[in-house]
Chain A
């Protein structure tokens, strides 16, 4: 059994428990063991690109370093955590000045210089498990279901740092959908923003963005939308005015693998 360090993040412990529990039970079914570091901190939700911001990057560095000390790759599942951690790692690798300020503050046993490999859960499915292997483990197929993958912004951009997939023509979620037996629906808004945190102070703007996404998917005949991001799920469900069902991709994965019921026990 392969073991990875697993970072859930704050929202998966609270409002997005489904994203987390289905990720864990599915990993187990796939023969992957996810070990959560004892002392992780919230990633902060958004990466600060400013070069003179150091304190706001420390929690992500602590997570990266904790994976490094256990000598394992780091798995994330929330799109926002993934984005913050990946961008932090990228900047530590490419900005010596920032790396030295961070290390000067943290005084780790050994300086952290970007050694950890970070996988999003979807990348783990693609690059570690393999979508072909996943397909063979499916017991409840989504055959006949038209499923629209919603990438949003954070999984793909900035593509230089995220390096998950082609930022304008991604396939990883569509390949996942095919692996669980479904039919992927391609639509124009799949990598455009849902409105994100603007929902806190401008509901109209969040409604405008999220309804554009839902309309675009519905126009292409989608039966449902899947996402990896709790805030996307929230905006698409609560602010869009659309009835199209929205699920975490891990929920479909758990169902396909036949472990959905036991996940909630």
Chain B
């Protein structure tokens, strides 16, 4: 376990993972549940255990839609999406670890795709 990484994620997210009572409601409501290898409640307890690198290396960090459903529906106000965000940032902030290359954008465009989708992806995938 990498203690510094755990502390960084806790600080960056501002989440108190110890508040989680493992009810699974966050994962039950998550629209990306099927696409995720690790689910929102697992992010919370894996961060508690300090198992951050496993999460950083999982595609799950790019599957969160930032819908804030888990934030609003958690009965303990843990705000799991903030943990997902902090882990994802820890990953894309590593040198050479951007999840998207701007050169890929032109081939993703179609006539109707709103700019909003691209700027959001930049915020989520690139540092």
Chain A residues proximal to chain B, CB less than 8 Å: 9-11, 14-16, 42, 44-53, 56, 78, 80, 153, 156-159, 167-168, 192-193, 195-202, 205, 209, 229-231, 233-234, 237-238
Q: Would you list 7 pairs from A and B whose C-beta atoms are within 8 A, ordered by A residue?
A: A10-B119, A46-B120, A46-B124, A193-B31, A231-B120, A234-B113, A238-B110
A44: B residues at CB distance < 8 A: 119-120, 122-123
Chain A nearest Cβ from B28, distance in angstroms: 13
B11: A residues at CB distance < 8 A: 51-52
Please pick, from A168, A202, A231, the residue contacting B117 in the complex, using a CB distance under 8 A. A231
The answer to whether B72 and A159 touch across the interface, beta carbons within 8 angstroms, is yes
The answer to whether B114 and A15 touch across the interface, beta carbons within 8 angstroms, is yes
B115 at the interface (CB under 8 A from A): yes
CA distance A240 to B100 in the complex (A): 25
The answer to whether B119 and A201 touch across the interface, beta carbons within 8 angstroms, is no
Say whether, besides A44-B123, A157-B71, A198-B65, A230 and B116 are in contact (CB < 8 Å).
Answer: yes
Chain B facing A: main interface SS: helix
Chain A nearest Cβ from B54, distance in angstroms: 20
Chain B nearest Cβ from A193, distance in angstroms: 4
> 8 Å CB contacts to A: which residues of B63-79?
63, 65-69, 71-72, 79
For B11, B63, B81, B123, the residue with the greatest tally of chain A CB atoms inside 10 Å of its CB is B123
B118 at the interface (CB under 8 A from A): yes
Looking across the interface, which residue of chain A has its beta carbon closest to that of B113?
A234
Looking across the interface, which residue of chain A has its beta carbon closest to that of B84?
A49
The answer to whether B13 and A200 touch across the interface, beta carbons within 8 angstroms, is no
B121 at the interface (CB under 8 A from A): yes
B35 at the interface (CB under 8 A from A): yes
The answer to whether A42 and B68 touch across the interface, beta carbons within 8 angstroms, is no
B32 at the interface (CB under 8 A from A): yes
The answer to whether A11 and B116 touch across the interface, beta carbons within 8 angstroms, is yes
The answer to whether A199 and B117 touch across the interface, beta carbons within 8 angstroms, is yes
The answer to whether B72 and A197 touch across the interface, beta carbons within 8 angstroms, is no
